Amino acid sequence: MIPSIRQPRAFRIAYRAYVALFFLYLALPLTVVAVFAFNNSQFPSLPWKGFTLEWFFGDSRPMIGVFHERPILRALGNSGFIAVFVSALSVVVGTTNAFLFNRYEFRFKGLFYVLMLLPLVIPGIVLGISILVFSSTVANGVWDGIGYDIEALRPGLTLVILGQFSFITTIVTLVIAARLQKFDRTLEEAALNLGANRMTAVRTVTIPYLAPALIGGFVVAFLMSFENFNTTLMLVGSDAPLTIAMFDRLKEGSTPLLNAVSLLLMLGSTTLALVMVLFQRKS
């Protein structure tokens, strides 16, 4: 089974074929999405009508490319805006959480830890509706009470950010806590011993040590936010992020424009992921 144990030749060949087939299964949908971005046709399907870059750069009907399609660009901007906020927030809270669970003993610590993990096992759509329900309860209460409408608590960017933040924080906490666990605390003592106060010791020694996890957590949060669909779907207002905008278009029927956007997304996230892997390897 493992290389040191011989298996019949036929078995080995069959096994390898299976693994190859598996990767074909993984690659196929993405490949067709990418390839049809260059099809000179109104539909992302065969027959192949020749190569074109119009779906990226075209500026006249019927082939308006990604870079001239206002709604898509605006949705992309929304997604980026949301993702930056969500990542920054969840890295901050993830860091405080990691320190809290690593450094302090307190009552009901175990319970809080399980609570902290819970967002991972709540379906995204349920997270979305619970936040939607609660925020409208609050907004309606305020409206009934003082007659002021809190715009931020109605479906829109703020709620999308809060909704994504609510479960991405758990993942970021786990990423940062894993590295903090490996931190040798005598390093902090050494810093104190050399004249640093507690805050300075954390800032100059612990945080630099955590840096790969902080950056990794940020990138993971960014990608998850960018991709998120379920929670966002329930909380979205008029400023739709990219996944929702693409979903609306897809329901109406697809054009290679969507392939072009998808290809750019693939390139973007793969680059981001590769940069992260390289960074992690370096440190």
State the CB neighbour count (10 A cutoff) for residue 3: 7
The stretch among 58-66, 67-75, 146-154, 158-166 that binds other proteins (CB under 8 A) is 158-166
**Closest residue by Cα to residue 12 from 59, 210, 20:** 20
Q: How far is the CB of 63 from other proteins (least distance, A)?
A: 18
Q: How far is the CB of 251 from other proteins (least distance, A)?
A: 8
Q: What angle do CA 53, 38, 22 make, to 5 degrees?
A: 145
Q: How far is the CB of 13 from other proteins (least distance, A)?
A: 13
Which position among 24, 211, 275, 280 is part of the footprint of other proteins (CB under 8 A)?
211
Which position among 17, 19, 152, 275 is part of the footprint of other proteins (CB under 8 A)?
19
Backbone φ/ψ region at 76: left (φ over 0), alpha (ψ -120 to 50), beta: alpha
Q: Which two tokens stand for residue 195?
A: 């004249």
For residues 31-90, which are near other proteins according to CB under 8 A? 31-33, 36, 43-47
Is 142 a residue that touches other proteins (CB under 8 A)?
no
Q: Taking each helix axis as running N to C, give the angle between helix 256-282 and helix 207-227, from 0 to 180 degrees, rounded to the nearest 10.
A: 170
For residues 164-183, which are near other proteins according to CB under 8 A? 165-166, 169, 174, 177
- Assign 3-state DSSP to the chain and report helix, strand, coil percentages, each to 5: 75, 0, 20
Which position among 84, 88, 122, 215 is part of the footprint of other proteins (CB under 8 A)?
122
Is 280 a residue that touches other proteins (CB under 8 A)?
no
